[in-house]
Chain A
Amino acid sequence: MIAAEVIVHCLAEEGVDLVFGYPGGAVLPLYEALRGGVLRHVLVRQEQAAVHSANGYARVTGRVGVCIGTSGPGATNLVTGIATAYMDSIPLVVITGQVKTSYIGRDVFQEVDITGASESFTKHNYLVRDAAHLPRIIKEAFHIARTGRPGPVLIDIPSDVQAETLKYHYPKDVSIRGYKPTEKGHMGQVKRAVKAIREAKRPLLFAGGGIFLSNAQQELAQFAETTGIPVVHTLMGTGCLPTDHPNLIGMIGSHGFKYANKAMEMADLLIFVGARIADRATGGIQEDLLANRDIIHIDVDPAEIGKNVGCDIPVVGDARLVLLQMLPLVQPLPLEKWRADLKAVKEAEQTPLEFGALVNPKHAIRVLSGMLDDHAVLVADVGQNQFWSARNFQIHGTRRFLCSGGFGTMGYSIPAAVGAKMADPSRTVVSVMGDGSFQMSMYELGTIKANKIGLKMVLFNNSKLGMVRELQDNRYGEPFGVMLDDNPDFTALVAAYGFPVRKVETNEKLEETFREMLAHEGPFFVECIVDSKESTL
């Protein structure tokens, strides 16, 4: 069998049904093998989108997302997407073509050292010099991408290697000497954690994106319900519990809710679960606070424990498995006063929205949220639109909220939403964007059209790079380099692709327009005109 066909068979063996890619000279043999139709290939319009789509696909299915690019510029276009996935620990296998083995190192046409370039933001990467190693490498790549702390793995395959012949045999097992992630928590540490929880007066659970990566939503709910411990979460942890869950306080961080940050200040024991406690998550919290709290940190990546905050009780392990280990050991705790205090803080802070002449984006998300079904996926971009969404989209049922958290990559929403929609076409998927971020990925309208992807798009047009405008306002007074007043007519632009489009300029029109959008089968585009002075919080 030709190595390129071997690759396709190995991918199928891993359960891959869909790959996002963009061809070129260095992946010609691979594209010939894809022509066979074993896997569905989706042609994106720029390689970065292929990675984001694989990212959205992975997050909705819980499986490894796969994307392909050619050598040189194809590979470097993938870079931002790979780094985005790395920062949010999304499992991906990224395949790049490379120049012929004998040409490597000679600066030939479209040669780039992509394994070197991506070293610091892939979980691991391979340059395949011998086709005989391909099945083992692909097996290892999927294993590494999906287990432990998930992440992207890149496989760089020279074009001559893709054309070699070999006997196809896919290994059953993987054995990597240096890679044995800890899954279950150390029982001694689990018991210490339980003891600390029992003795705490004001314990607080702090959930991160790891809850989704380990599929621990149910176990988190059970743990919170059994003990009565309140829960705050990071941006990536949004949706860890339903919005109306009695234990849920809300999102912490520099763009989180003040009352959630306040809850952290009031707590005497913090239980971090699947969170790395990054700067943005603790941004709204007093500096020395974390040093003076008892901290339990549950994370599958031992390197995260003690990295950003000190830790009294480290528990290395998969969030779901550790919660399952702790569950039989905990009882209801007498936390009535603590919970009542938090409730009071939260209620004191509920401020009504202010309405002007144009669309209030926070209100728009609330209206949309009220109309979507229980399985909808909302994919926000980066900027103000991200936090308008995160703070106002309600989670219930199996709804998901996705965004680029750790890397904050503008242009994430459309391609990631494409991946989410293709992963499960039965779900309603809404992409929410700003006018800046939309323009970073609007080429993907072509992919949506060609593949008839029934994506709903909501653009908040404030004629500015809103988030940066706000930072400048707060810090320097005058906006600079953030003006998008010469935006094109977005509805006319999208209409050119043949999708229905609507422009909404008042809050009154929102409900009617969203109803129309959701009733429509195929792609639909709604532009909301927003006051450029609108604040994030």
Chain B
Amino acid sequence: MNRHILSVLVENQSGVLSRVSGLFSRRGYNIDSLTVGETEDPKTSRMTIVVRGDDYILEQIKKQLNKLIDVIKIIELKPNQAVYRELALIKVDAPPESRSAVISTIDIFRAKVVDVGKESLTAEITGDQSKVDAFIELMSPFGIREIVRTGLTALERGSREIKEHKKYEEE
């Protein structure tokens, strides 16, 4: 099952998130992550949805999403044509004995220390998913206490905007 990244413009209205997420659970589509936020136009929100499925499922997801009245446009972002970012906060054990080792790993990844406690510290990392995954893997021997991840967000490379894309069924 392949991973696909959909970028979806929707009306910025209450209820939209529930319609979209409801569609996924109801029809049994697998969803890895979903992020949403306002765009340059306050009337519009943009969702980045990471889904898993074969070509048939992907086609169905796009078509069913497109049937929702609040969905304005859907494009699929291909790996080499888009930039992807995810942010994660990781609270990790950092007693005096291992603190400097933790910090040097954080530095190698160009992550940041955003909070320091007596026995732990919290690192912030931004990157594509594989970078975040790799960072988490290297942090885990130190003892991870908590992780939060934002889920993937993505934007097409170059100057083309989502508005300039045709609706998918015209392509």
Enumerate chain A interface residues (CB-CB to B < 8 A): 115-116, 119-120, 123-124, 127, 144, 176-180, 182, 301-303, 306-307, 316
Contact = CB atoms under 8 A, between A and B. Distances in A.
Which bracket fits the contact residues of B? Answer: 20 to 34
B73 to A, nearest CB: 8
A116 B18 contact: yes
Interface of B: 10-11, 15, 18-19, 22-23, 26, 56, 59-60, 63-64, 66-73, 167, 169
Contacts of A144: 69
Closest 3 A-B residue pairs measured CB to CB? A303-B63, A178-B72, A124-B69
B72 A177 contact: yes
A116 B18 CA distance: 8
Contact of A178 (B64, B68, B169): B68
B15 A301 contact: no
A178 B22 contact: no
A154 B22 CA distance: 17
Contacts of A306: 56, 59
B59 A177 contact: no
A413 B26 CA distance: 29
A210 to B, nearest CB: 16
Nearest to A176: B69
A177 B63 contact: no
Contacts of A176: 69
17 contacts: A119-B18, A119-B22, A120-B23, A120-B26, A123-B69, A178-B10, A178-B68, A178-B72, A179-B69, A182-B169, A302-B66, A302-B169, A303-B60, A303-B64, A306-B59, A307-B60, A307-B63
A176 B43 CA distance: 13
Nearest to B65: A303
Contacts of A178: 10-11, 68-73
A370 B43 CA distance: 60
A180 B169 CA distance: 12
Contacts of A303: 60, 63-64, 66-67
A150 to B, nearest CB: 13
A119 B68 CA distance: 10
A179 B72 CA distance: 8
A180 B167 CA distance: 10
Nearest to A186: B170
Nearest to A301: B67
A290 to B, nearest CB: 15
